[in-house]
Amino acid sequence: MGEAGGIEQQQKSSDKTMSTDPNDYTIIKEGEAEILMHAKNEVFYNKTQVNNRDLSIAVLRTFISKLKEEHEARNNKRMKTPQKVSEEAYSGNVEEAATDIPVSRSPKSNGECDAKAEPSEDDPQETVDLTEGKGQRQVKPPIVLEALAASGLRAIRYAREVEGIGQVVALDNDKASVEACKRNIKFNGSVACSKVESHLADARIFMLTHQKEFDVVDLDPYGSPSVFLDSAVQCVADGGMLMCTATDMAVLCGGNGEVCYSKYGSYPLRGKYCHEMALRILLACIESHANRYKRYIVPVLSVQIDFYVRVFVRIFTSASAMKNTPLKLSYVYQCIGCDSFHLQCLGRSVTKNNSVRYLPGFGPVVPRECSDCGKKFNMGGPIWSAPIHDQEWVASILANVKSMKDRYPAYDRISAVLTTISEELLDIPLFVSLHSLCGTLKCTSPSAVMFRSAVINAGYRISGTHVNPLGLKSDAPMDVIWDIMRCWVKNHPVKAQSPDQSGTVILAKEPTLQANFARAVASLSKAQAKKIARFLPNPEKHWGPKVRAGRQITSKHASLLGPHVINGINNHEEGDEPEAKRQKTDNHNSPSCQEV
Ligand SMILES: C[S@@+](CC[C@H](N)C(=O)[O-])C[C@H]1O[C@@H](n2cnc3c(N)ncnc32)[C@H](O)[C@@H]1O
Ligand SMILES: [Zn+2]
């Protein structure tokens, strides 16, 4: 950190002297953890992030069981074939780690830990555990770095609630937060004291000096994680997990394209899909940092919920696999006059005689003017256009959540989100909004079931998306989507519009397919058919992002965070409005895109 950073930190620290009077504190309970909160908002805490913490716990539990499965599979293979550990194998807690680990992998007797605890002879860093006699490697409990820990609530929950978790290291560069974290560790008793360590450190420096040492790195910053990504991708062990939140939705959703480019290296677009695009921009950015170190990511779960995005990616090292990265990235062409968008992949591969060559993608995939309405295109990206979830993981996470319902305070919300995610089409980046299509044509809306049926009857796939109850993902090309709408309008005519309107141009063409709106079997999602909740309303008044610790809520914040502003589009259930003659509104104006 430069001089300015040092001064800022001193300032932060001297401003906040912790009270020793117990009456100044209230106890906040979440899951198994209890934290002491001071009345003056000294240390960051946001109650609504319980969804974020619950999801992370569910992913951690699944991560641990997957590691065991992977190890069993490798052990079995090893028994059968001579040893050769795959480049992609998880190495974080089975192979010998770097020797200079300044944090402990073994439990401490209390929560007080020095920032530079060296490994002792009693605490060997040898991570390969050869079970006597059997010669098999055992999985060591994964160690977690909560790089931006604030009160320590998350770290303490991980330690107390995730069976089989190893040491949890909680960092913060704010002295008051570290004091609070240490106090909270003690307050939470022996398990927290033995497993959670709190350190005052700049997360970026700590992560850079602990390369590949943590099985899990959790980044949960105020706003953008961009400044932490380069060191975070280096800190995760091979096959380990990076969990990362971004709350700067205004930036990621296109409110400030140039700021997004400077932070994430990608240009956002203001389409209805902007929340999914935000996830894909973040993933592309993490991949780009990983690539610098011959590493690449495999997303297991990517969620846009409440006012932020959160991604869970595994990180592997492989110079050869990394060559596939351009095949997983695309530019997005968004028509400025209608809903049509098209993806252009950055690269392609050609396989000849068992060898693969990597080449630039063919382009452009679009003419200069939109073939549907004649207007120009904006170009955004590059975005991550490969799958953003691993459906096997999603199924395991959801099964875990359902089997431990009582242990997730945000059960209703996270199970609804995971249920919707479990039905998303994996190979379809972005989506159209039925209401927006109708807004372009100024027509009434078919029900979602009718529209889905028409797409399925035309021979294509369609699914919902967890980021928007009105969004529909489909492999149907845009001309097919418009043909379906043209057929709809033939039976539900619209008033004449001026000839230069995009809707008029689209409707002037005759459809080349005859849409069939008869109800198709798969037109309802499985969850809908079983009446399982897929979207839930926001939980309470004044729900949303919180200001930085220590800052007072002003009228500006109140106007930004007010429930009417925040309870935006995400609360509509699919197809709940029969008429869709609404004005076209950009999601980036929705409050969940606002950063505080
Ligand atoms: C949003 S809060 C974390 C909330 C916490 N993860 C939770 O679940 O309650 C972000 C924290 O990051 C800390 N922080 C910001 N920059 C940092 C840096 N460079 N190194 C370490 N901590 C930092 C802040 O002091 C703040 O406490
Ligand atoms: Zn167009």
> Which tens digit of pLDDT belongs to each residue from 128-168?
343 334 555 678 999 999 999 999 999 999 999 999 999 99
pLDDT of residue 251: 97
List b or e across 183-212, with b for residues whose CB sees 16 or more CB atoms inside 10 angstroms. bbbebbeeebbbbbbbbbbbbbebbeebeb
| Residue 530's pLDDT band (cuts 50, 70, 90) | low
Which CATH code fits 428-530? 3.30.56.70
CA 71 distance to own-chain centroid: 26
Dist. CA 501 → ligand 2 center (Å): 10
> Considering only the top CATH level, what class is 50-68+139-336+378-421?
alpha beta
Structure tokens at 194: 């033995």
Ligand 1 contacts CB of residue 150 (under 6 A): yes
For the record, the structure tokens of 239 come out as: 């096959």
pLDDT at 118 over 60: no
* Alpha-carbon gap, residue 283 to 277, rounded angstroms: 10
In what side-by-side order are the strands of the sheet with 196-200? 196-200, 168-172, 144-146, 214-219, 236-246, 308-317, 295-305
Mapped onto helix, strand or coil, the DSSP state of residue 17 is coil
34 pairs with which residues across the strands?
A: 29
Q: Would you list the domain boundaries of the chain?
A: 50-68+139-336+378-421, 428-530
Cβ of 153 less than 6 Å from ligand 1: yes
* Among 36, 44, 205, 307, residue to substitute to test ligand 1 (most atoms within 8 Å of Cβ): 44
CA–CA distance, 136 with 104 (Å, rounded to integer): 24
Determine contact, residues 266/382, Cβ cutoff 8 Å: yes
What ligand is nearest to the CA atom of residue 339? 2
The backbone torsions φ and ψ at residue 256, rounded to the nearest 5 degrees and listed phi first, read -135, 85
Does any ligand 1 atom lie closer than 6 A to the CB of residue 550?
A: no
Flag whether pLDDT at 91 surpasses 90.
no
Mean pLDDT of the chain: 83
CB atoms within 10 A of CB 584: 13
> Does residue 360 carry a pLDDT above 50?
yes
**pLDDT reported for residue 104:** 52
Per residue in 436-451, pLDDT (tens digit) is 999 999 999 999 999 9
Q: Which atom of ligand 1 is nearest to the CA of 204?
A: 19
Atom index in ligand 1 nearest the CA of residue 228 equals 19
- Ligand sitting nearest the alpha carbon of 546: 1
- Ligand 1 atom with minimal separation from the 45 CA: 9
- For atom 26 of ligand 1, the residue with the nearest CA is 150
% of the chain surpassing 70 pLDDT = 75
Give per-residue pLDDT as tens, 6-28. 434 443 443 445 566 667 789 99
Provide the pLDDT for residue 578. Answer: 30
Q: How far apart are the first and last CA of the chain?
A: 24
Report CA(364)–ligand 1 centroid distance (Å): 43
What's the pLDDT at 38?
80
pLDDT given at position 127: 35
pLDDT at 135: 53
DSSP string, 372-432: TT---EEEEEEEE-S-SS-HHHHHHHHHHHHHTGGG-TTHHHHHHHHHHHHTS-TT--S-E
Query: Which numbered ligand comes closest to the C-alpha of 334?
Result: 2
Tell me the pLDDT tens digit for each residue of 421-430. 999 999 999 9
Nearest-CA residue for ligand 1 atom 6 is 149
Where residue 581 falls among pLDDT bands split at 50, 70, 90?
Answer: very low
Is the pTM above the cut of 0.85? Answer: no
Between CA 544 and CA 476 the distance in angstroms is 36
CA–CA distance, 595 with 277 (Å, rounded to integer): 17
Residues 574 and 464: beta-carbon distance below 8 Å:
yes
Of 109-123, 509-523, 544-558, give the lowest mean pLDDT range: 109-123
Of all ligands present, the nearest one to the C-alpha of 369 is: 2
Give pLDDT tens digits for 482-507.
999 999 999 999 999 899 999 999 99
Give the position, in ligand 1's atom list, of the atom nearest the Cα of 150. Answer: 27
Could you tell me the CA-to-CA distances from 451 to 375, 437, 476, 571, 587 in Å, in that order? 25, 11, 12, 21, 22
Which H, E and C letters describe 25-56, residue by residue? EEEEEECCEEEEEECCCCCCCCHHHHHHHHHH
The residues whose Cβ lies within 5 A of ligand 2, an ion, are 335, 337-338, 340, 370, 372-373
Q: Please report the atom of ligand 1 found closest to the CA of residue 174.
A: 25
